[in-house]
Structure 1
Amino acid sequence: MPELSEPDTAVHASFLAAMKEFEAEGRTGDGSMIGRDLATWSGRWHEPGAFAAYVAAVRADVLEETPRPRGHVPCTTLWWTEDGEWLGRLAIRHRLNRLMLEFAGHIGYDVRPSARRRGHGTAMLRAALPAAHRMGIEAVLVTCDDDNDASRRIIEHCGGRFEDQRGKKLRYWIDTAAA
């Protein structure tokens, strides 16, 4: 059964295969966390030492003092895995600043292309809600592009209440205590 877990070097091979799938979609440098990581790390994370450094950097992002891109906040990243297979990632941003409030929300997630349409996105978001609640976040903001019907359905299946649309972003709130 798939589960959320802390990033770990044990899934190196399947992680690399998943990143190749995201690259084939044109995600490199697309402004998402996956796109940023592809642009920054893809030339070197095939090396075990570089992948270990990447995992350490992702895990360190939970700390307030960790350097991060302008406008980004501390974030807990969890990986969705099953039997050593990397299926996706989910980020819980610890607070909202202006950028997160308008664009990204508290939670962002990606499911590798070959694992889509199997309920992983819904299960992953649902599994993250209690974790966000333990972090003291009573309601999470989750956003998606207005043309991303799959993500909109995931958010709604997890209890998302539509607030508004800002530009291309649909904005939903989910109560974490009910999860």
Structure 2
Amino acid sequence: MPALISPTVDVHASYLRAMAEHVAEGRGRPGDGSNVGQYIRQFGRVWAEPAEFRRFVDGLLAQAAADTVRPATYVPTTTLWWVDGDEYLGRLGIRHRLAPGRMGERNGHIGYDVRPSARRKGHATAMLAASLPIAAALGLPKVLLTCDDTNEASRRTIERNGGVRHDRMDEKLRYWILTSPS
């Protein structure tokens, strides 16, 4: 049964296969501002080596700490991986607060990706649902989620998890979700 876990080297081989799927669909090219795209550009050439993959995982884990050095527009973020046994299925990041300025308003508190071969199986919906109590434990009574107005699958995922549409900002639809039942 799939579960959210902290990033781990235990799924190294599966993670590499998932990233190869993302690359095959065009992720990681210049202009791909997604987390997966950035990871591919920054680490894709080296993370096949176990020591480099460990460094990558350790870096993700460190991003949850408030005192970790990061760019000014980044905030502490808890990264979780959606796995089934040793099979990596996707990732989810919970930003502990909104990033400053317009970036935070466009990106929201939670972002997620499901590997291409695992899509359309309910993983994004289940992953987001599993993350809400974690966000609550981080002190977030409600979270902002955004998706492109053309991303029907992400819109449905957010709405299935109680997302209430707040507004639209450029091409982004913005939703609020309560992290614990009222």
> So what's the TM-score if we normalise by structure 1?
0.97
Q: Which runs of 5+ in 1 are unaligned?
A: none
Q: Tell me the number of residue pairs that the alignment of Structure 1 and Structure 2 aligns.
A: 179
- 1:147 corresponds, among 140, 146, 150, to 150
CA distance in 1, matches of 2:121, 2:179: 23
- 2:54 corresponds, among 29, 52, 55, to 52
- 1:158 corresponds, among 158, 161, 168, to 161
Report the counterpart of residue 7 of structure 1 in structure 2.
7
Where 2:12 maps in the other structure, the secondary structure is helix
Report the counterpart of residue 84 of structure 2 in structure 1.
82
Matches for 1:158-177 after TM superposition, within 5 Å: 158-177=161-180
Matches for 1:59-98 after TM superposition, within 5 Å: 59-96=61-98, 97-98=100-101
Report the counterpart of residue 109 of structure 2 in structure 1.
106
CA deviations on 1:60-89 (whole Å, 9 max, x unpaired) are: 001122222341110000000001100000
CA deviations on 1:7-49 (whole Å, 9 max, x unpaired) are: 0000000000000111111110400111111000000000000
- 2:134 corresponds, among 131, 136, 139, to 131
Where 1:125 maps in the other structure, the secondary structure is helix
- Structure 1 contact 7–77 (Cα < 8 Å) conserved: yes
- 1:32 corresponds, among 31, 34, 48, to 34
Corresponding letter in the other structure for 1:8? T
Q: Please, which moves more after superposition, 148-157 or 58-67?
A: 58-67
Moved over 6 A (4+): none
CA distance in 2, matches of 1:26, 1:32: 12
CA distance in 1, matches of 2:23, 2:8: 21
Report the counterpart of residue 18 of structure 1 in structure 2.
18
- Structure 1 contact 71–99 (Cα < 8 Å) conserved: no
> So what's the TM-score if we normalise by structure 2?
0.95
Deviation, structure 1 residue 100: 4.3
Corresponding letter in the other structure for 2:132? L
CA distance in 2, matches of 1:8, 1:101: 27
CA distance in 2, matches of 1:88, 1:20: 13
Structure 1 residues 145 and 37, CA, compared in 2 at 3 Å: closer, same or farther? same
CA distance in 1, matches of 2:16, 2:104: 31
CA distance in 1, matches of 2:103, 2:164: 18
- 1:118 corresponds, among 115, 121, 136, to 121
Aligned Cα RMSD in Å? 1.1
